[in-house]
Amino acid sequence: MAERFLEPDSPELRARWGGFAFTSDWDAKAKAAIARYPEGRQRSAVMALLDYAQRQVGEETTTQGWLPIPVIEYVAKYLGMPIVRVLEVATFYMMYNLAPVGRFHVQVCGTTPCMLRGSDDIMATCEKRGMHKGHVSDDGLWTLTEVECMGNCSSAPMVQINDDNYEDLTPERLDVILDALARGETPKTGTQEPGRHTVEPVGALSNLTAMVGENHDYRAEW
Ligand code: FES
């Protein structure tokens, strides 16, 4: 399980982020998110606004973005919410980074299906490149986090990097992806298994074969 710590409040943090405000683009998105909810329910937009704030911080720092405490306070004020309520949301969901991250946030799934399919080797591949859990690498490119199941078990092992998932990984395939990202390229997302499109069976079907051509009812055979 990933350890999560809030970046401590400090005069330096206040000096850098105390004046945070949405740019006009993010402000328009924030207002549109709030407008999706009935009058008086603007707080329901808190997850969207935290995400927008994190993305703006990412743009300003050329990283994947994170949520300094003054930025969380800004969102709370924007929505007229107690700060602790916004903190509760920000600290609960793994999608919010509570401390600075690198340009690429590499989240390796270590839950059982991914573990059985080689996530230890995937983690070792990341560590070989100078990534350490919870830290920004010396070159500022990477932050490594181990996460729980990301819902891609059928194409395990997998990692999420920023907004994209990379699945059916081997150490070699992950190296190709990380090299491409470091060069500023956009590698193929999703499954990395040649010939596989999503999570359809690899090779020939081995069960439920009667379902290929029709909606076969198996119940009589049970
Ligand atoms: S166990 Fe890794 S995606 Fe489900």
CA pair distance 65, 6, nearest whole angstrom = 14
Asked whether the predicted pLDDT for residue 203 surpasses 90, the reply is no
CB atoms within 10 A of CB 175: 15
Distance 189 CA to ligand 1 centre (A): 16
Please state, in angstroms and rounded to a whole number, the distance separating the CA atoms of residues 161 and 165. 6
pTM to 2 decimal places:
0.89
Question: Which of 158, 165, 167 for a ligand 1 pocket mutation test, highest count of atoms within 8 Å of Cβ?
Answer: 158
Q: Judge if the beta carbon of residue 30 lies within 6 A of ligand 1.
A: no
Give the position, in ligand 1's atom list, of the atom nearest the Cα of 149. Answer: 4
Question: pLDDT value at position 115?
Answer: 98
**pLDDT at residue 213, rounded to an integer:** 85
pLDDT in tens, 94-144: 999 999 999 999 999 999 999 999 999 999 999 999 999 999 999 999 999
Query: pLDDT at residue 1 above 70?
Result: no
Q: Which of 31, 69, 28, 33 is nearest to 48 (CA)?
A: 33
- Which sequence spans correspond to the domains of the chain? 11-92, 104-191
Instruction: Determine the pLDDT at residue 162.
Output: 96
User: What pLDDT is stored for residue 206 in this prediction?
Assistant: 84
Q: What is the pLDDT of residue 209?
A: 87
Q: Judging by beta carbons within 10 Å of its beta carbon (0-12, 13-18, 19+), is residue 177 exposed, middle or buried?
A: buried
Residue 2's pLDDT is: 61
pLDDT at 14 over 90: yes
What are the pLDDT digits (tens) for 40-70?
999 999 999 999 999 999 999 999 999 999 9
Long-range contacts, 9-18 (Cβ 8 Å, 24+):
9/69, 13/68, 13/69, 13/70, 14/70, 16/68, 17/57, 17/68, 17/69, 17/70, 17/71, 18/70
Topology (CATH level 3) of domain 104-191: Glutaredoxin (3.40.30)
